[in-house]
Structure 1
Amino acid sequence: MVRAKQAAQDYRLHERLTEAYMADRVRIQVDFNRLNRTGSPVFDPWENVLPLLALILASLTVMPFNLVAGTLVLVGAMFVYAFLVRPWIARRLRARTIENMLKNAHNWQVLWSYGGVVVTLSDNPRIGVVSPGGDWRAFARRFQGTQELGPGLGETTPGAPPVATPAQRPA
C-alpha cells in the first residue's frame, strides 16, 4: 500500500518535471564523465569504441606504405577524436539520458540514483538539485501543475522585501 502510494506520487511528480522541461522552465544537465562509463544505465560501449577503432585502423592502413604519413594520420586522428568524436559522444549521451529520464518515473529514479544529473531552473540556474543526493521530489513538488513557478523558486512572495542585485549591495 505504501509502495503503491509512493509510486503514484513519483509518477505525478515526474509528470510535473516533464511538463516543466517541455515548457523550458527547467534544464537537465548531464555529467559526461560520470555517465559515460561501464555500469551506467545510458552507457553505450560501441559508441565509444567504434569511432576510435576506425581512426586507428585508418592510421594502420597507411603505415605499411609510408611510416611518416601513417604517423601523421595517427596524430590527425587524435585531434579528430578529441575535438569531433568526444563532443559528438557527449551530445548523444546527453540526449539519450534526457530521453530516458523523461520516458517514465522508473527510468528517472534509476538514473537519479546512479548520479551525474543536475536539474536547474531555466530562469535561475543557481536553483536546482543534484543527483544522487538531492531530493528531486521536493524540487518537483514546488511546481504547481501548469503554473509558472511555486513559492521559493525565484518568485517574490507578496509582502517580502525585494532582493538586492549584486550592483545594489553595499561593498
Structure 2
Amino acid sequence: MSQLMAEWRQRKQREDDQLHDQLRGAVGAGRVQVFTDPRVLDFPGSPVHQHWDHLLPLTGLMTLALVVLLATNVVVGIVVMTSCTLIHVFGSRHYVAWRLKTRASAYMLADAVQFQTLWQMGGVALVVRGGNEPPCLAPKGDWRKFIRRNLGEGEGQKPEPMANAPVPTRHMASPPPPPPPPMVEPEPEPMADAVEPEAELMPPSAPEPPRTHWESIDDGPPRDAVTPPPSSSSSSQ
C-alpha cells in the first residue's frame, strides 16, 4: 500500500510539473497575468517579504532632505522634507507593491513546489488576458483546473499508469457469427410444352428434294464403275 501511495505521489508531482511549465510559458507569452496582494504576502516570514523595500525609499528621501537642508537654508530644507514625507506616505506603497509582485512572480514561476507553497498562503490571483474567465484566487481556487480549462492538457500529457496497480480483468466476448450468405433464387426453367414465340412467327420451310447416292458424295463416281460397251452401230461407222 505504501508503495502504491509513493507511486501516486510521484505521478501527481509529474503532472504538477507539466501544468507549471504550461503556466510559465503562458505568463511569458502574456496570455496569463499574475496579481498579488501585499496585505496578505508582505509580512515578516513570508518567502517574498523584503524589509529593504520599506527602508530603502524612506532612507533615500530623508537623506535627500538632509542634504538640501544643510546646503541651503532652513525654509528650503523644511519644504523639501515635507515633500519627501508626502512622497513616502502616498508613493511608497506603490513601490512596495511593485517590488512584491515582481518577487512573487519570479518565486512562483521558478518551481512547482514554490508555486504551491505561495498559493496555499493566499494573496495570489491568476487572470486570463482578453477572456471572460473569472480569476482564480488562492488558496481556494483550483489552479490545476484553471490551467487545464484555459491552456489545455498539451500534447503528450497523458496520465501514466502505476506499475503495481491492479489490472482489471475483462471477459472476452465471443466474436459475432458471420452473416449468412445471400440467398440466390434459381432462374425458372422453361416448360417443355411452352411454345416459343419466334417459332410461331416463322413460315414453314419447303421440303427438300430427296438426294441420290451420288449427290451426297463430293467426288465423282468411283473409278471401278463398269461403263456400258459401245454399240455395234457406232463401231461400224
Q: 1:45 aligned to 2:60?
A: no
- Please give the alpha-carbon distance, in whole angstroms, between the structure 2 residues aligned to 1:138 and 1:36: 27
Taking the TM superposition and a 5 Å limit, the aligned residue runs for 1:29-40 are: 29-40=35-46
- Residue 33 of structure 2 is matched in structure 1 by 27
Secondary structure of the 2:33 match is strand
Q: 1:40 to 1:6 in 2, by over 3 A?
A: same
- Residue 152 of structure 2 is matched in structure 1 by 144
For 1:122, which of 129, 143, 146 is the aligned residue? 129
Secondary structure of the 1:91 match is helix
- Residue 12 of structure 1 is matched in structure 2 by 18
Residue 127 of structure 2 aligns to which amino acid in structure 1? Answer: T
- Please give the alpha-carbon distance, in whole angstroms, between the structure 2 residues aligned to 1:110 and 1:81: 32
Secondary structure of the 1:119 match is strand
Q: Deviations over 1:86-112 (max 9, x none)?
A: 333322221111111111101111111
Q: Deviations over 1:110-167 (max 9, x none)?
A: 11111111001112265221011211111122222459xxxxxxxxxxxxxxxxxxxx
- Residue 96 of structure 1 is matched in structure 2 by 103
For 1:132, which of 132, 135, 139 is the aligned residue? 139
- Please give the alpha-carbon distance, in whole angstroms, between the structure 2 residues aligned to 1:71 and 1:56: 11
CA contact (8 A) 2:36 2:123 kept: yes
Q: Deviation of residue 10 (structure 1)? A: 1.2
Residue 27 of structure 1 aligns to which amino acid in structure 2? Answer: Q
Q: Deviation of residue 73 (structure 1)? A: 2.3
- Residue 79 of structure 1 is matched in structure 2 by 86
- Please give the alpha-carbon distance, in whole angstroms, between the structure 2 residues aligned to 1:42 and 1:57: 27
- Please give the alpha-carbon distance, in whole angstroms, between the structure 2 residues aligned to 1:141 and 1:131: 17
Q: Deviation of residue 4 (structure 1)? A: 1.9
CA contact (8 A) 2:33 2:128 kept: yes
Q: Deviation of residue 32 (structure 1)? A: 2.5
Q: How many residues align?
A: 147
Residue 28 of structure 2 aligns to which amino acid in structure 1? Answer: M
- Please give the alpha-carbon distance, in whole angstroms, between the structure 2 residues aligned to 1:68 and 1:23: 52
Q: 1:23 to 1:145 in 2, by over 3 A?
A: farther
Secondary structure of the 1:118 match is strand
What is the TM-score when the length of structure 2 is the normalising length?
A: 0.54
- Specify which structure has the bigger relative contact order, considering alpha-carbon pairs within 8 angstroms and separated by 6 or more residues: 1
Q: Deviation of residue 66 (structure 1)? A: 5.1
Residue 56 of structure 1 aligns to which amino acid in structure 2? Answer: M
Q: 1:79 to 1:125 in 2, by over 3 A?
A: farther
Unaligned runs of 5+ in 2: 1-5, 156-237
Unaligned runs of 5+ in 1: 148-171
Q: Deviation of residue 52 (structure 1)? A: 0.7
- Please give the alpha-carbon distance, in whole angstroms, between the structure 2 residues aligned to 1:80 and 1:29: 24
- Please give the alpha-carbon distance, in whole angstroms, between the structure 2 residues aligned to 1:59 and 1:23: 43
* RMSD after superposition: 2.6
What is the TM-score when the length of structure 1 is the normalising length?
A: 0.72
Q: Deviation of residue 28 (structure 1)? A: 0.9
- Please give the alpha-carbon distance, in whole angstroms, between the structure 2 residues aligned to 1:31 and 1:40: 13
- Residue 119 of structure 2 is matched in structure 1 by 112
